[in-house]
Amino acid sequence: MTGRTGAGPGTTASPGQLGLWLFLSTEVMMFGALLLAITLARLGRSGAAPFDKGLGAANTAILLTSSLLVAVAVERSGPCSGPGRARLPLVGAAALGVAFLAVKAVEYRADFAKGLVPGPDLFVNLYYVATALHAVHLTIGVALLAGLALVRPQPSTVEAAGLYWHFVDLVWVFLYPALYLVPG
Amino acid sequence: MTATSTDPGTGTGAARAAFDPRPYTAAGHTLRSWLTTTDHKRVAILYLIAITGFFALGAVGAVLVRLELATPRPDLLSAETYNRAFTMHGIVMVWFFLIPSIPNVFGNFLIPLMIGARDLAFPRLNLLSWYIYVLAGLFTIVTLVKGGVDTGWTFYTPLSTQFANGHVLLAAAGVFTAGFSSILTGLNFIVTIHTMRAPGMTWFRLPIFVWSHYATSILLVLATPVLAMALILIVAERGFGVGIFDPRLGGDPLLFQHLFWFYSHPAVYIMVLPAMGVVTELISTFAGRAVFGYRFVAYASLAIAALGFLVWGHHMFVSGQSMYASVVFSFLSFLVAVPSAVKVYNWAATLYRAEIRFTAPLLYGLSFIGLFVFGGLTGLILASLALDVHAHDTTFVVAHFHYIMVGGAVTAYLGAMHFWWPKITGRLYPDALAKLSVLLLYVGFNLTFFPQYILGWLGMPRRYHEYPAEFQVWHLLSTAGAGLLAFAYLLPLVYLPWSLRWGQRAGPNPWGATGLEWRVPSPPPTHNFDRIPTVTWEAYTPEATAETKDTPP
């Protein structure tokens, strides 16, 4: 398909890949707006972030590991690999996604017990909006990976789902320091 | 990507054998054939019908506002109803007419034809985008039926989250959903322009219309998600009680204005960049020449798009934001005048000493230039820190942005309609009637909105439904002008449908224009090109001198 066009430089990406990158760029702008708001709220607030750094760090480790498994799945879905070899890492990554959500649920429960509920603190309120929106994205990602593990997907499909998963992971990599680590 | 059904552009032998020379309009006559089509030309027609309906709906809001303002006393509408009328006018006109108007009707129809492709990169996504738009429109209509919303189209907090009585969540859901339609369209155009160009159709051989749609698509893809986030945060506050903008709940009301204008200022360029693309085509065609300074005009679109992201703070000069921020925003806003002027001067240079044919489409294009320049220059007044304090939230602002959005974008939309109507339908319309409607539009528009500059400068606030008696003469002139303008918009709704049946048949190229779209029959066949052309000529080269060469099947 790309051979037909080639009218100029920059036309080597397939339409599907280019479309996916553009979609991810819209997501970057959406989460970017939220990160900007979080940064502003952080600047207008004194004292260290009240959230549990330990659970946050554990979740960061879980997501980074899941991204590794997704990378392995993309590698194994290539034409040189046997059929079904991508299944195990896909299942593993989806399971880690579920583990992340479980840890998050435990953390919400602990937050509520500590009285960290939506209230007069904008930073805390944005924490809930940001982590909830991230969890929605992650849930979609888990469904995608689990779905791919059930069928025998095209390599390009695994790559596309993988890109999305890495993006959701990357959002967390920005949310974690912004919400948990930046000192007051 | 492998050759799948999403790529009808590949000129394979199989596709050649199956080429159907019948026009796209003959591909099916049932409602079902239209509602399930993935042909970019048919989707464009679906959009045309839908946005014409929404234009009428938005116009009803405008008529109510103008009738109420004919007298100083609140005698036609209550304050509450008036608020709902101008809010519905704004929401419908911005998101359901202006933003989709030129891109989704003419961009959809023309971009594949102009770049020498058989369809957009993602034809099914294109249809999906229309369905999402219709769904969003349904939300808005339901909001209207249930009593409307009174926040103004800007949804400013804390009004929208604490005090508004209308159906804010429903209206926000409509706008949020419409945003997805915008994003999908922008994405589709960018991918199409990158990957579907015919052999030899290099970036600098693209018509300026395509360049401006490329710049618009970047704005659609990158600015719309920020609006989505702003609306999500409103829902979080109004629906779930999580304080984001309400100071009593720990929120920051200015945050909403930052997020809203980060989208809504680029949105102005989403409306006007495609219009500039249209006007460039009109001027080049009827001056009978290539666009003067092609590369400057092309880059100016990108410059406007890029600067558009950096000027949102000029809506907030009186909001209490940092003075230093305001100075920077003011300076950057002045910079937008540079690429805009580059375009206007290049249009003027294209027309200079040309053998101009004063057809109806060109008259629309010239009206655009006049009204756009006037709206742009008053924009400089509003971008000045001190002057804006005086004019802020007056009808001066209303007049300014109507000169850009209505005088500019709607006039260009009608110009595009008159220019490409013979291509889309294969019929010519009565030229004299079209010229009459341009005249009515130009006079009616100025009569409607010029008095609003004066009123605003005298201190008439926007969004008020009563006013001191000494303002009445200007308000009456404005209301009278709105009547003329309504007539100018209704006239094409009569003679264009009339031409479908009784209009003279148009050949493939009734205007002697140069784009690839004029080298296929009118109306174009379903798959556009029998053979994908190989482009060996520069943009705006007349057909007679361009060496046509086809790729071997």
pLDDT digits (tens, 9 = 90+) for B418-441: 999 999 999 999 999 999 999 999
Structure confidence at residue B546 (pLDDT)? 63
Per-residue H/E/C for B27-51: CCCCHHHHHCCCCHHHHHHHHHHHH
First-to-last C-alpha distance (Å) of chain A:
54
For residue B549, the surrounding DSSP H or E stretch is: strand B549-550
Q: Which amino acid is at B459?
A: G
Q: Is residue B166 part of a domain?
A: yes
Domain count, chain A: 1
The predicted model gives A78-93 an average pLDDT of 85
Q: How far is A142 from A119, CA to CA, in rounded Å?
A: 31
Nearest beta carbon to residue B243 from set A8, A32, A118: A118
B9 contact partners, CB below 8 Å, separation of at least 6: A1, A4, B112, B117, B118, B119, B121, B196, B532
Q: Is residue B138 part of a domain?
A: yes
CA dihedral sign of residues B392, B394, B398, B399: negative
> Which residue ranges in chain B fall short of pLDDT 70?
1-18, 546-553
Q: How far is B505 from chain A (nearest CA, A)?
A: 34
The answer to whether residues B166 and B218 touch, using CB atoms and an 8 Å cutoff, is no
Q: How far is A37 from chain B (nearest CA, A)?
A: 7
Q: How far is A2 from B42, CA to CA, in rounded Å?
A: 26
Q: Do B250 and A120 touch (CB under 8 A)?
A: yes
pLDDT digits (tens, 9 = 90+) for B230-249: 989 988 888 888 889 988 88
Domain count, chain B: 1
Residues of B in contact with A6 (CB under 8 A): 199
Q: How far is B130 from B398, CA to CA, in rounded Å?
A: 30
Q: Which CATH number does the domain housing residue B285 bear?
A: 1.20.210.10
Q: Is residue B4 part of a domain?
A: no
Q: Is residue B8 part of a domain?
A: no
Q: Is residue A6 part of a domain?
A: no
Q: Which amino acid is at A50?
A: P
Q: Do B262 and A15 touch (CB under 8 A)?
A: no
**Which CA distances in Å does B258 have to A124, B168, B179, B238, B311?**
20, 19, 18, 19, 11
Structure confidence at residue A88 (pLDDT)? 93
User: Which is more confident, A123 or A79?
Assistant: A123
Nearest chain B alpha carbon to A6 = B199
Residues of A in contact with B224 (CB under 8 A): 26
Nearest beta carbon to residue B201 from set A7, A16, A40: A7
pLDDT digits (tens, 9 = 90+) for B171-206: 999 999 999 999 999 999 999 999 999 999 999 999
Q: Is residue B426 part of a domain?
A: yes
Structure confidence at residue B552 (pLDDT)? 45
Structure confidence at residue B163 (pLDDT)? 80
The pTM for the full model equals 0.92
Structure confidence at residue B10 (pLDDT)? 44
| pLDDT-based confidence at residue A9 (cuts at 50, 70, 90) | very low
Q: Which range of residues forms the domain containing residue A176?
A: 16-43+53-181
Structure confidence at residue A144 (pLDDT)? 95
Q: Which CATH number does the domain housing residue A81 bear?
A: 1.20.120.80
Q: Is residue B453 part of a domain?
A: yes
Q: Is residue B5 part of a domain?
A: no
Residues of A in contact with B251 (CB under 8 A): 122, 125
Structure confidence at residue B549 (pLDDT)? 47
Q: Is residue B507 part of a domain?
A: yes
Q: Which range of residues forms the domain containing residue B389?
A: 38-548
Q: How far is B125 from chain A (nearest CA, A)?
A: 11
**Which CA distances in Å does A92 have to A160, B34, B201?**
18, 45, 47
Nearest beta carbon to residue A119 from set B2, B196, B250: B250
Q: Is residue A3 part of a domain?
A: no
Mutate to test the interface with A, among B195, B224, B262 (most CBs of A within 10 A): B195
- The number of beta carbons lying within 10 Å of the beta carbon of residue B435 is 16
Q: Do B199 and A4 touch (CB under 8 A)?
A: yes
Structure confidence at residue A184 (pLDDT)? 62
